[in-house]
Amino acid sequence: MQRRIFSGIGLLVLCTLTIAAQQPSPGSSPDTPPPTFRLEVNYVEVDAVVTDSQGNLVTDLTLDDFEVRENGRPQKVTAFSTVNLPIERPERPLFANAPIEPDVESNTAAEGRIYTIVLDDLHTRFTNTPRVQRALREFIEQRFGTNDLAAVVYTSGRTNAGQEFTNNTRLLLAAIDRFSGRNLRSEALEINDALNNRPPGEFATGSTGSGARNPSDLSGIPADPLEFERAQNARNTLTLVQKLAEFMEGIRGRRKSILLVSEGISYDVHDVFANSSAGIILQQTRDTVAAATRGNVAIYALDPRGLTAFDEAIEVGGTPADITPSQFSVTGSLQGSLRLSQQSLQVLADETGGFAAVNRNDLSEAFARIVRENSVYYVLGYYPSNDQRDGRFRTLDVRVKRPGLQVRARRGYVAPRGRAPAAKPAVTSANGESMSPAATTALNSPIPLSGIPLTMFAAAYKGTPPDAAVALSLELRLDGLNFAEKNGTFNNRLEVVFSSVDQAGTIRPGSRHVVTLELKPETLAIARQRGFRVLSEITLPPGRYQLRAAVADQGGARSGSVLYDLEVPDFRRTGLSMSGVSLTSASGAATPTVRPKDPLKDFLPGPASTVREFQRNDVLALFAEFYENIQGAPTHMFDMSTTLRAEDGRVVYENREERSSADLQGASGGFGYGHQIPLQNIAPGTYVLRVEGRSRAEKADQQPLGRDVIVRVR
């Protein structure tokens, strides 16, 4: 499709653009401040839930109502906020079976809860896999708001199975559905098998193991043959939780929660003779608790076993007759392992301000409590009067002066030890140039930062093999930025950085653009009203990605970031595939725009936009491509259509076109489809725009392929 220019739209822009680095080849309440991401030496943050004598939440307290003591000494609170987070529900048209995923992401949505879901597949039996999936599916589908953020992490290191922070429930559920427990067989059963399989006379006076529950008579009991693997799994789980807590420490102004779904660690850290790694694991537990308390991260431990914790006993084939219960008992050993595993969960939860849900067949109430505790609370921050980095535990006592109220807060934290970490070296772009500290912090933040309001759209199109060309449109509001006036223009300098993280957690550096703004007064007025747009492009192979965009203004006074989940199809696979759907409008062309890279300049009549709400006097334009890879198919027709459907299911606009495969001249793929929709006859309301394609080839799948976009007309 050839590019067509909207007429009658003047653009008063005077700006210069410097490409500093190219892409490498191949609703909260009004009083709730946004969360931030930064690390400050010795800064302590504690959240507190306050209830009255009837258990009702108290939300009208001020800073003057609180008192914080550390090791009994009053502290000067320098940061205070009241957090009251709603649960936003996804928008679903009446005719749709499920909510329609937004194709635009923003950092200005209502603030929500922040969860890291840790799936401890190393300490969950395979038979409990359905329990885990069912419980977490209920949590995501019923208690997770569109304003919440969650990540999914596996303790076994299955990075391809996890999910970066997102509010996309489909991606979270997909990560949960990939869960499969792989816990080692219990120590009791392993020892019992060793006893049953022993040659005559063996173990009569041999070494002993922790399967022996009677210290006065340890002879004749073999050691756990899987002790080494059991210790390694325990270290892996604890180390991962520690690193996650350290990573989340930089998120300020919010309660951060780790949902640890696990059957617990049954490694006996008190039996140092039979368990060679007991001391290491005990210290690792302390380090994990220390990291969580220091970062104000609450751990909620959820045991999926419920009340059927002894179903492993079904596997027991009987203990040899020459082994007395005082020497070894399968039941006693299983009970001991259950006690140890539940204690490990309770320690992590109780010491970090969370709770452990054990011996429960239904985790619904536990999830409800987690949501309550992460929705309404107070956040207090201070720099402790004792600034020594001594690694000691310091008690915390949060009190309120109003009589009759109860405060729930964590009991203390472990101070950092040793010298403060040195400043990290500056992150470099693809060509070796350094990014500013503000842009680096914004790009590395696990959550969107709203210092500069941003909205982002991305669409993948077929590119140079084997990659796809991903068109990017980033729009930002300038009303909060300061401009210096010089020679009749208003000046600022913006650093715009794009990056991506693939499904294995590998960071792929993207483009870095330095935009020098020199705006005439009338252009600045338009930009403050309509925003400012940057168009760019990245190339990515097929796969699942999280795109990240960050913007910092001159001097790093303000910065913002936004996250975008994108699945890049394999456009060269056999069959039919489809690009994203890019939109623009006549009015959208008035937004000041710079185009360091614009892969759609020859296909859209205006710059790709993130706006999805349009006036009735506007004209909406779209562009998509369909790729048909059917070997040996005779000449045939290909159908493409656009429909605009109201919330009640009525089709209020429709366009249908057909193309011949002969137009491709034997090449595979590449049906470009562009269309413009005048909106003057469309009543105000919410609509679903659907772009669809279907091949008439005999060898093709007759099911059409399409994408839906929610738009609004006002």
132/139 Cα distance (integer angstroms) = 11
* Long-range contacts (CB closer than 8 Å, 24 or more residues apart) made by 140-143: 140/169, 140/172, 140/173, 140/176, 141/169, 141/173, 143/87, 143/367, 143/368, 143/371
88/319 Cα distance (integer angstroms) = 56
Whether omega before 542 lies within 30 degrees of 0, making that bond cis, reads no
Tens-digit pLDDT profile for residues 579-618 = 999 999 999 988 989 999 999 999 999 999 999 999 999 9
Q: Residue written as tokens 């002894």?
A: 310
Q: Quick one: 403 exposed, middle or buried, by C-beta within 10 A (0-12, 13-18, 19+)?
A: exposed
Identify the three-state secondary structure at position 104: strand
Beta strands in 241-388 (DSSP E): 251-252, 256-261, 297-302, 356-357, 376-382
Answer yes or no: are the C-beta atoms of 594 and 533 closer than 8 Å: yes
In percent, how much of the chain has pLDDT > 70?
Answer: 87
Q: Which residues contact 346 (CB under 8 A, 6 or more apart)?
A: 301, 356, 358
Q: Which residues of 482-521 are buried (b: 16+ CB within 10 A; e: fewer)?
A: ebeeeeebbbbebbbbbbbbbbeeeebbbbbbbbebbbee
Q: Considering Cα of 79, then 81, then 87, then 88, what sign does the dihedral take?
A: negative
11/645 Cα distance (integer angstroms) = 33
Query: What are the DSSP calls for 584-651, one per residue?
Result: EETGGGGS-EE-S--TTTTTSSS------EE-TT-EEEEEEEEEEE-TTPPS-EEEEEEEEEETTS-E
Structure tokens, 269: 């850290």
Answer yes or no: are the C-beta atoms of 709 and 96 closer than 8 Å: no
Q: Considering Cα of 334, then 336, then 339, then 340, what sign does the dihedral take?
A: negative
Query: Which amino acid is residue 103, in one-letter code?
Result: D
Answer yes or no: are the C-beta atoms of 149 and 166 closer than 8 Å: yes
CB atoms within 10 A of CB 430: 16
CB atoms within 10 A of CB 434: 15
* Strand partners for 68: 398
| Section 203-225 average pLDDT | 52
Nearest to 323 by CA among 314, 315, 332: 332
Please name each of the domains of the chain with its CATH number: 1-26+436-605 (2.60.40.10), 114-372 (3.40.50.410), 612-714 (2.70.50.60)
pLDDT band (50, 70, 90) for residue 659: very high
pLDDT confidence of residue 431: 53
Nearest to 558 by CA among 438, 440, 477: 438
pLDDT confidence of residue 30: 47
Reply yes or no on whether the pLDDT at 17 is more than 60. Answer: no
606/527 Cα distance (integer angstroms) = 17
Structure tokens, 18: 């410097």
Reply yes or no on whether the pLDDT at 257 is more than 60. Answer: yes
- Among 112-116, 125-129, 262-266, 523-527, where is mean pLDDT lowest? 523-527
Answer yes or no: are the C-beta atoms of 48 and 408 closer than 8 Å: yes
Furthest C-alpha separation in the chain? 99
| Section 406-421 average pLDDT | 85
Q: Residue written as tokens 């539940």?
A: 342
260/243 Cα distance (integer angstroms) = 14
CB atoms within 10 A of CB 322: 11
Tens-digit pLDDT profile for residues 48-95 = 999 999 988 999 999 999 999 999 999 999 999 999 999 988 878 777
pLDDT band (50, 70, 90) for residue 668: low
711/619 Cα distance (integer angstroms) = 13
Nearest to 44 by CA among 77, 84, 82: 77
Q: Residue written as tokens 């300490």?
A: 123
Q: Round to the nearest angstrom and report the end-to-end CA distance of the chain.
A: 29
pLDDT confidence of residue 184: 93
Structure tokens, 427: 């992150």
Residue that wins the pLDDT comparison between 538 and 331: 538
Answer yes or no: are the C-beta atoms of 79 and 254 closer than 8 Å: no
Q: Which residues contact 60 (CB under 8 A, 6 or more apart)?
A: none
Answer yes or no: are the C-beta atoms of 348 and 289 closer than 8 Å: yes
Nearest to 102 by CA among 413, 540, 462, 564: 564
Structure tokens, 463: 């590119």
> For residue 157, is it left (φ>0), alpha (ψ between -120 and 50) or beta?
left
Reply yes or no on whether the pLDDT at 106 is more than 70. Answer: yes
Q: Considering Cα of 596, then 464, then 508, then 533, what sign does the dihedral take?
A: positive
Tens-digit pLDDT profile for residues 290-343 = 999 999 999 999 999 987 655 665 656 677 777 778 778 888 888 888 999 999
From residue 285, alpha-carbon distances to 282, 290, 343, 555 in Å are: 5, 9, 12, 42
Answer yes or no: are the C-beta atoms of 606 and 621 closer than 8 Å: yes
Q: Which residues contact 157 (CB under 8 A, 6 or more apart)?
A: 236
| Section 401-408 average pLDDT | 94
